[in-house]
């Protein structure tokens, strides 16, 4: 995969650091500043900026699940008029993420066409992977944060004073349960599909697929008796799982060879997926055509670049989740 090397864009495959013994290992994100109501330090003492309407923008791709979960949080928190949004082309080529037309990155940086320009504007000597999402400061002309898990929690609370939206997807009373689910879901499902799809040895693929479907089986059992992962309330754990589930049958099942079962074959998971899709503000974050074009456009996965016609999945079909107690979120 191309990436930046000392501030220069290198188009050949220099991201070998993400492959070890034929297995895919995701490179950690490195911009980890925070936004708080008044600019005081973040929850772990991170340097922070103050929440202001119109100052920040999310740079995303509708292909990417990590980016899509931040779009979902932006919608659920009613931040559409507070935090801007710019989406890259879904096909990730030799120039990385690109914008179909140059986009405004603020007075200091000006207009950009290539996503990697945001990284070099923030750190002229940056070396490493160039990823979405990016939470960008239009005023300072720099990346605030490029870790989607952090961005979820920033958007969950930083702008509440401006919007009056008190919905809480990471409530203190449920944090232990949320964190308990987030860790294995990330390792086995969110990142697990990539470990399967990018594996370069049979052993690495087998290990990834076994852990992936073992976790899906566990989730199916849990959701048979719980409406949401942490019980009766929708939380960030559900959003983090949703973005992988909604891509599974249309992309990962075929392109990434995650094909032991489909999500449609799991009664509870498939009903749960449809309920989340039908939550106000969520379906707008899902662009199936972009997802299929992007994943089937990965050259080393699908050299011919042929995008399959199916499967046809109706996420608007009725679900049965109302049989279980609970319907809501904290803070409403």
Residues annotated as catalytic are: 64, 194
Distance CA 123, CA 114 (A): 15
Q: Is 270 annotated as a binding residue?
A: no
* CA-based nearest residue to 288, from 256, 321, 243: 243
Average pLDDT over residues 93-118: 97
Q: Is 130 annotated as a binding residue?
A: yes
Structural class in CATH, domain 172-323: mainly alpha
Q: Residue 141: which region, alpha, beta or left (left: phi > 0; alpha: psi -120 to 50)?
A: left
Tokens standing for residue 298: 């990965």
Please check if 147 is assigned to a binding site: yes
The burial class, CB within 10 Å (0-12 / 13-18 / 19+), for 301 is middle
The sign one gets for the Cα dihedral 185, 189, 190, 194 is: positive
Is the pLDDT reported for residue 15 higher than 60? no
pLDDT of residue 328: 66
Longest dimension (CA), the chain: 55
Are 3-163 and 172-323 equal in CATH topology? Answer: no
The one-character DSSP state at 254 is: H
225 is an annotated ligand-binding site residue: no
Per-residue pLDDT reduced to its tens digit, 25-43: 678 899 999 999 999 999 9
Q: Alpha-carbon distance 141 to 174, whole Å?
A: 36
What is the average per-residue pLDDT within 213-223?
A: 98
What is the pLDDT at residue 96?
96
pLDDT in tens, 121-143: 999 999 999 999 999 999 999 99
Q: Quote the CA–CA distance of 50 and 192 in Å, as a whole number.
A: 35
H-state helical runs in 98-251 = 116-122, 148-157, 160-163, 175-184, 192-197, 202-223, 236-247
Mean pLDDT score of the chain: 95
β partners of residue 228: 231
Q: Which residues contact 328 (CB under 8 A, 6 or more apart)?
A: 232, 233, 234
Q: What is the dihedral of CA 147, 59, 107, 43, to 10 degrees?
A: -30
Residue 70 has pLDDT above 90, yes or no: yes
Q: Residue 18, Cβ neighbours under 10 Å: how many? A: 15
How far apart CA 325 and CA 100 sit, in angstroms, is 45
Sequential DSSP letters for 152-180: HHHHHHTTHHHH----BSS-GGGHHHHHH
**pLDDT tens profile 235-265:** 999 999 999 999 999 999 999 999 999 999 9
Return the pLDDT at 1.
Answer: 78
Q: How many angstroms separate the first and last alpha carbons of the chain?
A: 44
Q: Residue ranges of the domains in the chain?
A: 3-163, 172-323
CA dihedral for 162, 168, 170, 171, sign (positive or negative): positive
Consult the annotation and say whether 14 binds a ligand. Answer: no
Per DSSP, helices labelled H in 52-135 are 65-76, 116-122
**Whether pLDDT at 14 is above 60:** no
Q: What share of the chain is helix, strand, coil (3-state, %, to 5)?
A: 40, 15, 45
Distance CA 197, CA 255 (A): 7
CA-to-CA separations, 211 to 155, 216, 268, in angstroms, rounded: 31, 9, 19
Element (H, E) at 102: strand 98-104
- Residue 28, pLDDT score: 87
Measure the CA–CA gap between 99 and 77, rounded to whole angstroms: 26
163 pLDDT tier (thresholds 50, 70, 90): very high
**How confident is the model at residue 19, as a pLDDT?**
55
172-203: pLDDT as tens digits: 999 999 999 999 999 999 999 999 999 999 99
State the fold for domain 3-163: Glutaredoxin (3.40.30)
Each residue's pLDDT tens digit, 286-295:
999 999 999 9
Residue 175: how many CA atoms within 13 Å on its side-chain side? 6
């Amino acid at each position: 995969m191309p990436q930046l090397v000392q501030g220069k864009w290198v188009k050949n495959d220099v991201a070998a650091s993400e492959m070890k013994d034929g297995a895919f290992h995701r490179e950690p994100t490195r911009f980890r500043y925070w936004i708080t109501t008044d600019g005081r330090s973040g929850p772990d003492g991170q340097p922070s900026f103050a929440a202001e309407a119109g100052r920040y923008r999310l740079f995303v791709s509708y292909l990417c699940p990590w980016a899509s979960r931040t779009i979902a949080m932006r919608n659920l928190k009613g931040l559409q008029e507070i935090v801007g949004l710019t989406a890259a082309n879904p096909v990730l080529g030799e120039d990385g993420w690109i914008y179909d037309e140059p986009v405004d990155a603020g007075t200091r940086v000006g207009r950009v066409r290539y996503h990697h320009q945001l990284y070099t504007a923030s750190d002229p000597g940056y070396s490493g992977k160039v990823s979405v999402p990016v939470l960008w400061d239009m005023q300072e002309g720099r990346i605030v944060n490029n870790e989607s898990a952090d961005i979820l929690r920033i958007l969950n609370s930083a702008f509440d004073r401006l919007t009056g939206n008190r919905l809480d997807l990471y409530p203190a009373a449920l944090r232990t349960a949320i964190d308990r689910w987030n860790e294995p879901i990330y390792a086995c499902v969110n990142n697990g599909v990539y470990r399967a799809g990018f594996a370069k040895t049979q052993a690495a693929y087998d290990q990834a697929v076994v852990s992936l479907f073992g976790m899906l089986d566990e989730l199916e059992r849990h959701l048979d008796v719980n409406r949401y992962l942490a019980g009766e309330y929708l939380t960030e754990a559900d959003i983090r799982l949703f973005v992988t589930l909604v891509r599974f049958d249309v992309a990962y099942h075929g392109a990434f060879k995650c094909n032991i079962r489909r999500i449609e074959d799991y009664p509870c998971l498939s009903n749960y997926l449809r309920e989340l899709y039908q939550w106000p503000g969520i379906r707008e974050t899902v662009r199936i055509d972009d997802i299929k074009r992007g994943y089937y456009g990965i050259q080393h996965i699908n050299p011919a670049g042929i995008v399959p016609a199916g499967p046809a999945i109706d996420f608007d079909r009725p679900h049965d989740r109302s049989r279980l107690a609970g319907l809501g979120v904290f803070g409403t």
